[in-house]
Amino acid sequence: MRPRILVINPNSNESVTDGLRRSLASYRDVADIDCCTLSDGPFGIESDDDVAVAAGLVIDRVASANDYDACVIACYSDPGLAECRARFDKPVFGMQQSALGAAAAQGRFGVLALSDESIARHLVYIDRLGLGDRLAGELPLDISVDQSANDPATLDRIITVGRRLADEFGAEVLVLGCAGMAAHKKPAAAALRVLVIEPVEAAVEAALAAII
C-alpha cells in the first residue's frame, strides 16, 4: 500500500495550506499526502501565545489521524512536536527540526524568519538541537504569515535578505522560516544560486524515509 502522510497546517489561513498542496504535488508519485487546515487555530502563528494554542490543536489532530502512517507539523515553531512524540507511536515530524537537520548536513545555514520575535524563539530551539555552531545567521523579513503566502513583494524580500545572509554572513544554505513561503523556494533558489530548503518538504522527506 502507498504510504499516507498528513500535513497539518496549525493556522486557520487556508491560503497557506493551498500553497503547501502545490509545493508538495511532486510527491504524488510516491505517497498520498493530504494537507489540512486547523480552522480553530490562529490566523497566523506569530507569538508564543499562538504557538501554545496551536500545540494543543496539533496534538488533538494527530490523535485522530488513524488512517495515516505519519504526520508533519507545518508550522516553523514545531508546536506540539515533543508532546506528540511522547504520546503517540505514529511518527511525527516538525518542519523546523527537519529543515535544520537537512541544512546543517549541507553546510553553514541561514534562516529567513518572519520577525525578530520569531528569531528569539528559533535561536533557543537551534541551541536545543545542538546546531548553534552551524548557524551562519538568522534575519527577519518583517512580514506576517499571511503576507508570506499572499503578498507579491515577499519574494523580492526573500531574495534581498537571503543575499545578505549568503554574502555578509557566509550562509551556504538558506532555510525558509515559515510554511507560507513554500511557493517561493524555486524562484528564490534560482535568483540566489544557493541551496534553499523548504521545511515542509524536508519534513515530508524525513517522514518518507521513516515509513518506506
| Per-residue pLDDT at 1 exceeds 90 | no
Count of C-beta atoms within a 10 Å radius of residue 59: 18
Cell 494537507, located at residue:
35
pLDDT in tens, 38-93: 999 999 999 999 999 999 999 999 999 999 999 999 999 999 999 999 999 999 99
Convert the pLDDT of each residue in 123-176 to its tens digit.
999 999 999 999 999 999 999 999 999 999 999 999 999 999 999 999 999 999
| Alpha-carbon separation of residue 105 from 133, 135, 197 (angstroms) | 12, 12, 12
Euclidean distance between CA atoms 204 and 93, whole angstroms: 8
pLDDT tens-digit map of 10-42:
999 999 999 999 999 999 999 999 999 999 999
> Is-above-0.85 flag for pTM?
yes
What mean pLDDT is predicted for residues 182-199?
A: 97
Q: Give residue-wise pLDDT tens across range 99-112.
A: 999 999 999 999 99
Which DSSP symbol is given to 30?
T
